[in-house]
Structure 1
Amino acid sequence: MHIAQVHDWSEGPRYVTVDDPPAPTETQIQLRVLAAGLHQVVRSRASGQHYSANSLPHSVGVDCVGRDVATGKLYYCVNMQASFGSFAELITVAKGTVHALPESVDPLSFAASVNPGMSSWLALTQRTSNLPKSYTVLIVGATSASGRLAVFVAKALGAGKIIGVARNEAALAKIEGLDEFIVQKDPVTDTDFSQVDCDIVLDYVYGVLTLHLLSTISVPRPLQYVNIGSLSRDEIAIPSALLRSRDITIRGSGPGAIAPQIIQHEIKRLVPTMAGWGLPGAHGVPLKDIEEAWQDKSLQSKGRLVFIP
């Protein structure tokens, strides 16, 4: 069969031939992959820059939608182990890593959505505490794939008000479910957070924008900040005086911060919830074209990419 595999971190994935996976045992299931999402974490792992996978050869992909070879039933599968790769024609995995889907689900849209949606779901369910009723969420990086889905997730988990932050005003205005939005200025320090009143910050950007936000926001109650991503690729130093002068709780959310068994448990809650949403479409790319597509900037700008065998 064919898979996408990395043999040199500087080269990116290659379309290679390998042996078919072994037949499933009683505790396993074999899926024929229909669609595997190209998420930010997939790119990071494939470049050797993510802490969850740093050895070669690296098989690409962390999740997929596929059909059970034996029964034809539809499943979503996710596995963050370094040895796993979902950009393949067939995978044999533990039954505990798959989740049944209704036939009404579009495999491409679903494969593109669960991983980015899971980021905010885990942040809100596992990395916050004692949330007030109808809490307010500020999403930094709201126009990203994960940020857009965080709006759906926050509402499903009880948020009463959602505020988005991003550079593109036109894109912010089109996001369904946002109650307010703040346009990021250039320079970042011109962005006005002084009137923001929220309980939680979900941050996909990090960097100077985050430092400015935490330094200038004035909330008259405890503020919970959760870092989920670092799209800015910048690191910052948070002054100790800022931490002592505000009632701010700072956490991160991701593999390592949350135990694998808890992640699997939460996915069991998230998957049926998402199956009922009208998810936006995704752009499918044949797996055999991965080497060209990986470098194609115009294709990447489409967003929500999935690879199909």
Structure 2
Amino acid sequence: MTAAAPYSALFKRGISRTHIAQQTIRGSIRQFHHSPYLEMKGARITSWGSPPEYMEVPDLPKPSPTQLRLRVLAAGVPRAVKGRAAGQHPSAFNQPLPYDPSIDGVGRDEITGDLYFINSLAAPLFAEYANVQRTQLFKVDPNTDPVAIAALANNTLSSWMALQCRAIGGCKDRTVVILGATSNSGRCAAKVARILGAKKVVGISRNPETLAKVEGLDKRVTLEDPLEFPETIGPVHIILDFVGGPAAIQLLQAAEADPVANLQYIQTGGVAGCEFLNIPARLINVKPIRIMASGLGSLSEEEIAREMPGCVDAMVKIKTPPYEVLAAPMRDVRSVWDSEEAKTKRLVLLP
């Protein structure tokens, strides 16, 4: 029997109107309860340090007038998300379980077809749908690859905010040195510095073969101990440090400062795992060094709001992440989370 069968045909089969009405109501209820708006699947941390579990998650309320309900298409898993999942990131401290460690992602308005980048911490995104404040959404071309944007977001944001908000005077017509240029963030930083008009972009890394493949660099310097920084590079204006530790000190000692400008050192990561930056007092006496960091604590909400449209536009311009991406269905989150492939590629979950 099909839903379109007329009542007269059903009566001939001995089926009453009451039975038909009961079946119709049951079908409607069944369809109602299986609506993706009311019953969702998502990924949640149930034990700190363990991979997320794929499970049923709480129903979404009706979006408020200031919100949009989006179908989540892609959510990236950068180091910050892994830190939140382990309970080691400040934004995850004292949070109850189960916990959604997601940061940002891409979603589509199923009514209009519009595609949006969803700002950092705007909503839990390890789920099929999300209600997001309209002020935290940035529209992108509907043909943009959601996976690419999700994979680019955190790394692009890191260098964009550092160069636009922390570097005094920006990087236009200046020399930018990237310590840790072969990291995902370093590779994005090279492209961002180009977009923002840097005169010269220098990359530093321990592996010369990998460094040779990083796009957007004018000069490449192998990180050795002691560091030999070529004088031919000339004065350095901005250092973006994704490594930290002794390598940063050696670079500050070796780099030539512009006689009429500060040598701006911006700590943006800590791949080396060093908690402290032991700077000799004499070093900051003999060179005009300005020491800063770039992160959620050192950036104001006003700065982030002001810069996000430009940062999203930069992601769209970059188009293809300068590193490998592993796109996996969210239902496979437990098996891919700590997989060998996810250790060498940027993981993106697809709800």
Q: Distance in 2 between matches of 1:16 and 1:202?
A: 40
Cross-structure match for 1:278: 319
In the other structure, the counterpart of 2:256 is 218
Displacement of 1:88 in angstroms is 1.4
DSSP-derived class of the 2:216 partner: coil
Letter in 1 for 2:241: D
Q: Distance in 2 between matches of 1:133 and 1:18?
A: 46
TM-score, reference length from structure 2: 0.82
Please say which of residues 276-285 and 150-159 is displaced more in the overlay.
276-285
1:175 counterpart = 2:238: no
- State the Cα deviation string for residues 223-274 of structure 1 (Å, max 9, x = none): 0010111111112322222222221001110101111232122111221233
> 2:91 and 2:350 mapped to 1: Cα distance?
24
Check 1:287–1:131 CA distance in 2 against 1; reply closer, same or farther (3 A cut).
Answer: closer
The CA distance in 1 between the partners of 2:267 and 2:230, in whole Å, is 20
Displacement after TM superposition at 1:39 (Å):
0.9
Structure-1 residue corresponding to 2:299: 258
- Render the CA deviation track for 1:147-205: whole Å, top value 9, x for unaligned: 111111111111010000112212211122100111122xxx22212635311000111
Which residue matches 2:343?
A: 300
Match of 2:189 among 150, 160, 163: 150
Pick the aligned partner of 2:103 from 32, 40, 62: 62
1:306 maps to amino acid: V
Counting matched residue pairs gives 303
The TM-score normalised by the length of structure 1 is 0.92
Q: Distance in 2 between matches of 1:48 and 1:21?
A: 25
Distance in 1 separating the partners of 2:115 and 2:171:
37
In the superposition, relative to structure 1, how do residues 27 and 260 fare at CA in structure 2: closer, same or farther (>3 Å)?
Answer: same
**1:84-133 deviation line (CA, Å, top 9, x unaligned):** 42221111111111110102211111110022101111001100113575
CA contact (8 A) 1:7 1:56 kept: no
Q: Counterpart of 1:111 in 2: which secondary structure?
A: helix
Question: Higher relative contact order by CA 8 Å / sep ≥ 6: 1 or 2?
Answer: 1
Q: 2:177 aligns with which of 138, 143, 162?
A: 138
What is the SS of the residue equivalent to 1:249? Answer: strand
Name the residue aligned to 2:114: 73
**Whole-angstrom CA distance in 1 between matches of 2:282 and 2:114:** 56
The answer to whether 1:25 aligns with 2:64 is yes
Structure-1 separation of matches of 2:325 and 2:41 = 22
Is the contact between residue 31 and residue 66 of structure 1 (CA under 8 Å) also seen in structure 2? yes
- Contact 1:30-1:93 at 8 Å conserved across structures: yes
Q: In structure 1, what residue type is equivalent to 2:348?
A: V
Q: Which residue of 1 aligns with 2:285?
A: 244
Q: 1:163 aligns with which of 195, 202, 205?
A: 202
RMSD: 1.8
